[in-house]
Structure 1
Amino acid sequence: MAMWGGRFTEATLAEFRDFNDSLSFDYQLALQDIAASRAWAAGLLQAGIINQTEAQQLDAGLADLAIAIKADPKLPLQTQEEDIHSWVEAQLTTTLGNVAKKLHTGRSRNDLVATDLRLWTRLSSQQVRASLLGAIAALLAFAERAGSAVMPGFTHLQRAQPVLVAHWALAYVEMFKRDLGRLDDALKRLDVCPLGCGALAGTGVAIDRQLLAQQLGFAQAALNSLDAVSDRDYVVELSAAASLCMTHLSRLSEDVIFFCSGEAGFFKLGDAISSGSSLMPQKKNPDVFELLRGKTGRVLGHLVAILHVLKGLPLAYNKDMQEDKQGFFDLMASWQQSLRVLATVLPHLTVNEAQCRLAAELGYSNATDLADYLVAKGVAFRDAHELAGELVLAASAQQKPLEALTLAQFQQICPLITEVVFAALTIEAGLAKRQALGGTAPHQVAQAFIAAKQWLELQTKSS
């Protein structure tokens, strides 16, 4: 049942209808459309447009529709309606008759869909938030299991300095905390209600829009009708937040893929989260992390798509904005699923402590500790850096680690070096020196872990 047929004398072309209709995807807004309609019916009663009996009939009919949708979310797809708004009205008309035709008084599909999408986004964002907290909890549990295990830290994908495995995990906790902040910040600006703004100029019904907003759980009513029906900033903001969060997920996945490789061997994938090869019996593939990395491109693409949809639109509503949903629905679903998957697979990821430590001892990753030792002897850092480099060159020529050089070989390049240098070049000494805030010293990592756990508890309680 079209909501606009009176002006037209010819039937809609089937190809145009297929291209134009949106029920195939906006059926997902059914419960939100029903909620907005129930609030609108209450507003029409307050404005004197409908009487008490009609208001009760509409509310009961809409409540029954909500029950039916909860039982079968794809129920609207069994019809040929244009969109979810048409479906709701058609269903009400079938059961209630003429009273259903009064429901759309004073409103437009423009302000209705803008309200529906905000309601859906708010609910979906709360689900993403819970999944993000779950991913953080899983990372903290991984950090706790890693204990005092040490691994090489990398720059330019080359061994740089030793770090605790827990320090690596907590780096991603920090990223996800920022992602949560961006999500919460975007939701603050989403928290306005467009309902009652009509097609673009506002409603002609004397309705209390602030009360309407409160009934739907919004902080306030939108202040400008032109802006309200055409605003999709929150879609862009959440798409951007999702894109950055997924980028963090992708970076983590890339790390894990490398750490699980035969070349590194730092981490081990459990059988429950691995896949094999149809040809090579020996293979154990990190497909789940490769998929997490791959889905990031999909989410980033949706962000670019919505920006392109909006970039040239004049005020107010334009049909282009129908393209705001399919990509966004997929983006939010992919974001939530990826976070849930990460939380599910991390418990099946173990640390090969011996291999991690062996790798941390290679590649002259204690060269900076040698330079720091010389600085403590009164050598200027730039000179200490030069001397440490010469000693690395000497050790490399002999295919030895720095600590395998003899004291005489050390003193040949720098006479200030004493026996104490060997203690300074151990992994434990190097870690302990990084005790400034944010460093990888065991004490600092332990404090960071405690702080992150406390933060998570507060966030979980406030959800």
Structure 2
Amino acid sequence: MAQFLWSGKEELPDIVKEFTYSIEDDKNLFYYDILGGMAHTLTLYRGGIIDYDEAKSIIDGLYKLKDKNDINFSLYEDVHTAVEIELTALIGEPAKKLHTARSRNDQVSLDERLYLRDSLKEVLNLIRDLIKAFLDLAGVSLDIIVPGFTHLQPAQPVLISHHLLAYVEMLKRDFSRFYSLFPRLNECPLGSGALAGLDFPYDRFLVSEVLRFDTPTNNSMDTVTDRDYLIEYIFDALLTSTHISRFGEEIVIWSNPLFGFVKISSGYTTGSSMMPQKRNPDVAELLRGSSGEFLGYLDLLLVTLKGLPLTYNRDLQMDKKVIFRASRSLHILLEVTRGLLENMELDREKICKNLNDEFLLATDLADFLVNRGIPFRDSHHIVRDVVFYCQENKKTFSQLSEEEWRKFNEEFLNLPDDFFSFDKAINRRDTYGGTGRSCVEYQLLLNRKWLEETRRLIDALPEVYMEDLVNMIGK
């Protein structure tokens, strides 16, 4: 028979249990519910609400409970019920005082915040690892020039390292968004009660400090309904997955034999059930499709919260369908993207063969005229006419004779012999943030420093150890 923390006259029908129970999702909070219970018990003791023997029995019991691996969670409505009843079976009467000065409303908020705090730290590490993988590939690819695209049409030559560093910038912004969530997430809800606060000498600042929160939450009514931290987390995950989806699409394109820019390791491709010659970029395709999952989670949360009156309503239980799936999916997404990146090879020979379109240097040609004193708009039209002429006569820029150049503008006779070298063209783009080799090398250096700085930021994030709470009861 199912067991509850509330009183009821009769057993719920099975279909109602299936509809209302959250245990299959929130059993993922088991560790955090125990951790929060230990800190809560310590605060009860420090406030004189329970005595030392009771507090020590509860804390020691909770510490033992964390290792119990034969709990039948299906018997319980939610994780809070499971912890309290299992603890009662373990230590007896003192366990019945665990829920003093606490509601499941502030309790679940605490558990989720503790869970997300750990998840957030893992996400930051994974983003940082992915950025390092991009930097490593960019660092060994400084000699590779590829066409840069606008509208997916060849536009101007760029170093592929510069292209890869564009994703580094996206991921650095993702890192910044996740990191900036910490101050809003890291507020302690315990002591808010069901909605109105407590009628006990309960030190909210103490429990906040014990669990290494920055501060208690300021308003008990807001606290028990606030899920902004989860919405922010999901939005940040959505935007990160959107950036990764763009990378996935480019790998799909680049791995196509018609491009042939990259060779993907067989461990990150699959075969065809019908066509034996095929290797499909399935991992890259799933990266491309990943953002839809997180968009669905965000939609679910926002629709759930829209118009929800203060304070707690059972609708908020829907967040359990999001928090664990989303965090796990995000962790896998970041890990598999790094794996793909580390297990693909840039095909220098194929890229070099494909880099044969001198029209990629049309803008350089217009800029040359501008530097000779011709207004850019006039230069643009002159070069446009040169391009049209070459296309009609099936010629490249370097195949034009002096007489042909003179038809368009005398200044073209001053073109350096190596003007149409792609290496030279790359190094002409030497403004800060440009594709010039010296600029890209400098960005690589800055990003290596960023890796060092963010390692220190991550290491400084709060962690709580159960062993410390066990020791605190004697102080």
TM-score by length of 1: 0.96
CA–CA separation in structure 1 for the residues paired with 2:170 and 2:284: 18
Query: Which residue of the partner structure matches residue 6 of structure 2?
Result: 4
CA–CA separation in structure 1 for the residues paired with 2:90 and 2:263: 60
The reply on whether 1:35 has 2:35 as its aligned counterpart is yes
CA–CA separation in structure 1 for the residues paired with 2:290 and 2:371: 49
Residue 357 of structure 1: how far off its partner (Å): 3.2
Equivalent runs, 1:190-209 vs 2, <5 Å: 190-209=185-204
Residue 437 of structure 1: how far off its partner (Å): 0.5
CA–CA separation in structure 1 for the residues paired with 2:383 and 2:29: 65
CA–CA separation in structure 2 for the residues paired with 1:357 and 1:10: 76
Query: Which residue of the partner structure matches residue 314 of structure 1?
Result: 309
Q: Name the aligned partner's letter for residue 46 of structure 2.
A: Q
Tell me, yes or no, if the aligned pair for 1:236 and 1:307 is still in contact at 8 Å. Answer: yes
The reply on whether 1:389 has 2:379 as its aligned counterpart is no
Query: Which residue of the partner structure matches residue 339 of structure 1?
Result: 334
Query: Which residue of the partner structure matches residue 16 of structure 2?
Result: 16
Equivalent runs, 1:442-457 vs 2, <5 Å: 442-457=437-452
SS of the counterpart of 1:49? coil
SS of the counterpart of 2:202? coil
Query: Which residue of the partner structure matches residue 152 of structure 2?
Result: 157
CA–CA separation in structure 2 for the residues paired with 1:249 and 1:412: 48
Task: Count matched residues.
Answer: 456
Residue 407 of structure 1: how far off its partner (Å): 2.1
Query: Which residue of the partner structure matches residue 275 of structure 2?
Result: 280
Residue 79 of structure 1: how far off its partner (Å): 3.9
SS of the counterpart of 1:177? helix
Query: Which residue of the partner structure matches residue 132 of structure 1?
Result: 127
The reply on whether 1:226 has 2:226 as its aligned counterpart is no
Query: Which residue of the partner structure matches residue 393 of structure 2?
Result: 398
CA–CA separation in structure 2 for the residues paired with 1:36 and 1:108: 12
Q: Equivalent of 1:304, from 299, 305, 315?
A: 299
CA–CA separation in structure 2 for the residues paired with 1:39 and 1:162: 59
The reply on whether 1:89 has 2:84 as its aligned counterpart is yes
Query: Which residue of the partner structure matches residue 186 of structure 1?
Result: 181
Query: Which residue of the partner structure matches residue 59 of structure 2?
Result: 59
Tell me, yes or no, if the aligned pair for 2:24 and 2:74 is still in contact at 8 Å. Answer: no
The reply on whether 1:214 has 2:209 as its aligned counterpart is yes
SS of the counterpart of 1:424? coil
Q: Equivalent of 2:325, from 312, 323, 330?
A: 330
SS of the counterpart of 1:416? helix
User: Identical aligned pairs, as a percentage?
Assistant: 37
Residue 328 of structure 1: how far off its partner (Å): 2.1
SS of the counterpart of 1:325? helix
CA–CA separation in structure 2 for the residues paired with 1:81 and 1:225: 27
Q: Which moved more, 1:85-94 or 1:337-346?
A: 337-346
Q: Which moved more, 1:452-461 or 1:223-232?
A: 452-461
Q: Equivalent of 1:430, from 425, 433, 452?
A: 425
CA–CA separation in structure 2 for the residues paired with 1:363 and 1:315: 65
Tell me, yes or no, if the aligned pair for 2:221 and 2:310 is still in contact at 8 Å. Answer: yes
CA–CA separation in structure 2 for the residues paired with 1:168 and 1:401: 26
Q: Name the aligned partner's letter for residue 217 of structure 2.
A: A
CA–CA separation in structure 1 for the residues paired with 2:130 and 2:221: 39
Residue 265 of structure 1: how far off its partner (Å): 1.1
Please give the per-residue CA displacement for 1:220-267, whole angstroms capped at 9, x wherever unaligned. Answer: 111110011111000011111110010000001111110111221111
Query: Which residue of the partner structure matches residue 356 of structure 1?
Result: 351
SS of the counterpart of 2:140? helix
Tell me, yes or no, if the aligned pair for 2:123 and 2:331 is still in contact at 8 Å. Answer: yes
Please give the per-residue CA displacement for 1:408-442, whole angstroms capped at 9, x wherever unaligned. Answer: 21111112211525422221221111100010000
CA–CA separation in structure 1 for the residues paired with 2:189 and 2:73: 29
Tell me, yes or no, if the aligned pair for 1:153 and 1:162 is still in contact at 8 Å. Answer: yes
Residue 12 of structure 1: how far off its partner (Å): 1.6
SS of the counterpart of 1:161? strand
Residue 363 of structure 1: how far off its partner (Å): 6.5
Gaps of 5+ in 1: none
Tell me, yes or no, if the aligned pair for 2:26 and 2:78 is still in contact at 8 Å. Answer: yes
In the superposition, relative to structure 1, how do residues 342 and 35 fare at CA in structure 2: closer, same or farther (>3 Å)?
same
CA–CA separation in structure 2 for the residues paired with 1:274 and 1:305: 32
Tell me, yes or no, if the aligned pair for 1:27 and 1:77 is still in contact at 8 Å. Answer: no
SS of the counterpart of 2:273? coil
SS of the counterpart of 1:350? strand
Tell me, yes or no, if the aligned pair for 1:111 and 1:228 is still in contact at 8 Å. Answer: yes
The reply on whether 1:99 has 2:101 as its aligned counterpart is no
Q: Name the aligned partner's letter for residue 419 of structure 2.
A: A
In the superposition, relative to structure 1, how do residues 77 and 140 fare at CA in structure 2: closer, same or farther (>3 Å)?
farther
Gaps of 5+ in 2: 459-475
Please give the per-residue CA displacement for 1:94-136, whole angstroms capped at 9, x wherever unaligned. Answer: 1122211111111100000000000000001111111111100
TM-score by length of 2: 0.94
CA RMSD, Structure 1 to Structure 2 (Å): 1.3
Residue 443 of structure 1: how far off its partner (Å): 0.6
CA–CA separation in structure 2 for the residues paired with 1:347 and 1:336: 17
The reply on whether 1:142 has 2:144 as its aligned counterpart is no
Residue 460 of structure 1: how far off its partner (Å): 1.8
Tell me, yes or no, if the aligned pair for 2:262 and 2:345 is still in contact at 8 Å. Answer: yes
Q: Which moved more, 1:405-414 or 1:14-23?
A: 405-414
CA–CA separation in structure 2 for the residues paired with 1:384 and 1:139: 38
Tell me, yes or no, if the aligned pair for 2:261 and 2:351 is still in contact at 8 Å. Answer: yes
Q: Name the aligned partner's letter for residue 67 of structure 2.
A: I
SS of the counterpart of 1:344? helix
CA–CA separation in structure 2 for the residues paired with 1:407 and 1:445: 35
Q: Name the aligned partner's letter for residue 385 of structure 1.
A: H
SS of the counterpart of 1:341? helix
CA–CA separation in structure 1 for the residues paired with 2:27 and 2:163: 43
Please give the per-residue CA displacement for 1:302-343, whole angstroms capped at 9, x wherever unaligned. Answer: 111111111111111110000012222111111111111111
Query: Which residue of the partner structure matches residue 246 of structure 2?
Result: 251
Tell me, yes or no, if the aligned pair for 2:73 and 2:82 is still in contact at 8 Å. Answer: no
Tell me, yes or no, if the aligned pair for 1:366 and 1:426 is still in contact at 8 Å. Answer: no
